[in-house]
Amino acid sequence: DALDPERLIQCPYNKHHQIRACRFPYHVVKCKKSYPEVAKELATCPFNARHLVPRADLCDHLTKCNDRGFIEQDIVNQSSDFQRKQMNAVSTWQAPPCDEDWEKDSLEHSEPPFIW
């Protein structure tokens, strides 16, 4: 079960380390300091920081990462929520009062038409 906090996960820095899922983030930080040469060769997945993969395999991992779907779904949901809010938003803008009356002004300042 992927959500079981007691499941064992293999350390990306030392293959002999088996860590419980609930302790994995703490272990990775500690192990990264102990294995700096291995750390230089690993890249962190942008969809799940627990995924540490060889830099050469990162592109392949990104296309297959299971957590990618969760992130993409969140983006779609946020986008549709934003659009829904925009459509339901009631504008509170009001035009400022206007004292101008162009028709009245044109009648007051009208000149007799020019005739040949």
Phi, psi angle pair for 106, to nearest 5°: -70, -35
pLDDT digits (tens, 9 = 90+) for 13-72: 999 999 999 999 999 999 999 999 999 999 999 888 889 999 999 999 988 988 887 777
Over the stretch 64-97, which tens digit does the pLDDT of each residue have?
988 887 777 777 777 776 667 666 667 777 888 8
**pTM tops 0.85:** no
Token digits for 38? 């291995």
Residue 83: CB atoms within 10 Å: 10
Query: What is the C-alpha separation between 84 and 67, in angstroms, rounded?
Result: 26
